[in-house]
């Protein structure tokens, strides 16, 4: 892709697949808060290695990992239910779109692309926030890891979403902010537009090595034209 504009990203593409948290929604602050509550309520110290480990997992995967790591006397199902309960008010009432997200979704629809969300988040959270922010109707599919029984640590979830849209993988572009998911999308044969804001500068080179295009924000991408 020759420049940072939108045109080269979507040239020849028929579908765009979006990560949700950190790409469409400014929601990562919710999970910071929920995570701190989780460690406090279970009387375990904040474990930075555990936080890093679960970043590549869906809700149920993360809960199973935490039960085993800390020997918790509860079930993964109860942990996930608690997380969703804590996060739902913020998703339903506070979480906003990332800058440029609404405009980009509208631009892609105007160019005839079919759109889907591919997320590790919970379906109830996705539905609440995407409906309230007014963009839910733009997506033909909202695919969650737990509902699909697939995960972003491999290409199958992205391939599954392409099949739902009836679009070949090579005709899809994926908007992602997580390196592991970028690698999975590339393994699926899809183009990748990587979002790496300035505060994550240390990750930029690794993301650039995987992605077809690296941008600091969706606003930056839109401003470049195309």
146-194: pLDDT as tens digits:
889 898 989 999 999 999 999 999 999 999 999 999 999 999 999 999 9
For residue range 6-23, what is the model confidence (pLDDT) as tens digits? 888 888 999 999 999 999
pLDDT of residue 3: 52
Per-residue confidence (pLDDT) for residue 2, from 0 to 100 = 40
Specify whether 22 is located in the same domain as 41.
no
For position 144, which CATH number holds?
Answer: 3.40.50.1000
Average pLDDT rounded to a whole number, residues 200-225 = 90
| 209 and 115 within one domain | yes
Q: Output the pTM of the full model.
A: 0.90
The predicted structure's pLDDT at residue 226? 65
Domain boundary among 93, 111, 139: 93
Q: Which of 42, 59, 93 is the last residue of a domain?
A: 93
Same-domain check for residues 18 and 44: no
Domain containing 10 equals 6-27+96-223
pLDDT at 46 over 60: yes
Our CA angle for 109, 114, 118, nearest 5°, is 110
Q: At what angle do helices 76-93 and 28-41 cross, to 10 degrees?
A: 140
pLDDT at 157: 97
H or E element in which residue 156 lies: helix 156-165
């Amino acid at each position: 892709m020759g420049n940072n504009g939108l045109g080269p990203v979507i040239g020849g593409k028929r579908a765009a697949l979006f990560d949700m948290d950190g790409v469409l929604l400014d929601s990562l602050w919710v999970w910071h808060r929920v995570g701190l509550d989780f460690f406090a309520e279970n009387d375990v110290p904040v474990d930075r290695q555990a936080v890093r480990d679960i970043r590549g997992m869906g809700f149920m995967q993360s809960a199973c990992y935490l039960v085993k790591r800390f020997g918790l006397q509860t079930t993964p199902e109860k942990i996930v239910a608690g997380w969703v309960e804590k996060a739902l008010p913020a998703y339903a009432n506070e979480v906003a779109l990332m800058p440029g997200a609404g405009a980009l979704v509208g631009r892609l629809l105007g160019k005839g692309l079919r759109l889907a969300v591919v997320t590790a988040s919970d379906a109830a959270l996705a539905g609440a926030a995407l409906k309230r922010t007014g963009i839910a109707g733009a997506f033909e599919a909202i695919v969650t890891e737990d509902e699909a029984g697939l995960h972003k640590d491999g290409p199958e979830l992205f391939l599954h979403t392409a099949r739902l849209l009836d679009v070949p993988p090579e005709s899809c572009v994926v908007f992602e902010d997580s390196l592991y998911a970028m690698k999975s999308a590339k393994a699926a044969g899809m183009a990748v537009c990587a979002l790496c804001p300035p505060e994550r500068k240390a990750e930029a080179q690794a993301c650039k090595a995987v992605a077809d295009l690296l941008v600091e924000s969706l606003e930056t991408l839109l401003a470049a034209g195309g």
